Amino acid sequence: MLELWVLLLGSGLGLAADPPTPLRIAAASDLMFCLDALNDAFRTAHPGTQVQVTPGSSGNLFAQIQQGAPFDLFLSADRSYPLALIAAGAAESNSLTHYANGRLVLWTLKPEIAVTNGLPVLTQPTFRRLAIANPEHAPYGRAARDALQRAGLWNQVTNRLVLADNIAQAAQWVQTGAVDAGLVALSLVSAPKLKGVGAYWVLPEDSHAPLEQAAVLTRRGTTNAAARAYLNFLRTPKARSIFDQYGFRLPTPTTAP
């Protein structure tokens, strides 16, 4: 019996090989649909890699990572949370990657709401509820508040606001008719599942502070080869083309005269 056990070990049949370490990604919820395409492309180039994604508001995910949640890579909807992780020693400083600029849209499924008229449509007497992500922990919520304040409309619409936990939830409330409209991410309404549903108006880039979205390797992720490979993948032309399909852009570098 002992000889058989030794033979099985020697032939590699006695013990199964350890499964590869999964890649755990904490991702801003505006990436919910885009990440499906990114992950498919990444797994094509890295077959066998197990990718696990936890979506949510960037602020809540940041808090979870600070408290020791086992994420390898953090894709935030702004730069402030990754920078805060770096400052706290919870992420690798030279891994900070500006992967996209997000865009905000006013979206509705109600044909009587002419969103192409811009934010002033929100002050109409028949307009009742507007969904935005909670500005306290969601970058898109802060951008929505900033846009409304710059337009001089914040005080007029405050009593009509419904605060979602994250931008995906705000979009869901628009989709189900729970609210009249929402200030949501262009990446969500550009997804195949929602493309052509309702009508939206893209807010001008200078109507709010830029949504500079950044990724960073967590302290845990620095020892995960798949996490580093995924971060490098985000910088590739293939990933860039996917980001573009979902309405994400990066600033075009300008050449000095």
Averaged pLDDT score across all residues of the chain: 90
255 pLDDT more than 90: no
Q: How far apart are the first and last CA of the chain?
A: 81
Listed in sequence order, the residues at least 6 apart from 60 whose beta carbon sits closer than 8 Å to its beta carbon are: 137, 165, 166
20 pLDDT more than 80: no
Chain centroid offset of residue 58 CA: 8
Q: For residue 126, what pLDDT is reported?
A: 85
Q: For residue 9, what pLDDT is reported?
A: 41
DSSP output for 170-236: HHHHHHHTSSSEEEEEHHHHTSTTTTTSSEEEEPPGGGS--EEEEEEEBTTGGG-HHHHHHHHHTTS
> What domains does the chain contain, in order, with CATH numbers?
23-101+210-245 (3.40.190.10), 103-207 (3.40.190.10)
Instruction: State the average pLDDT over residues 172-195.
Output: 95
Sign of CA dihedral 226, 253, 59, 55: negative
Q: For residue 177, what pLDDT is reported?
A: 95
Using pLDDT thresholds of 50, 70 and 90, give the confidence band for residue 104. Answer: very high
Q: For residue 21, what pLDDT is reported?
A: 78
Q: For residue 1, what pLDDT is reported?
A: 45
Percent of the chain predicted with pLDDT > 70: 89
18 pLDDT more than 90: no
pLDDT digits (tens, 9 = 90+) for 32-56: 999 999 999 999 999 989 999 999 9
60 pLDDT more than 90: yes
The single-letter code of the amino acid at 85 is: L
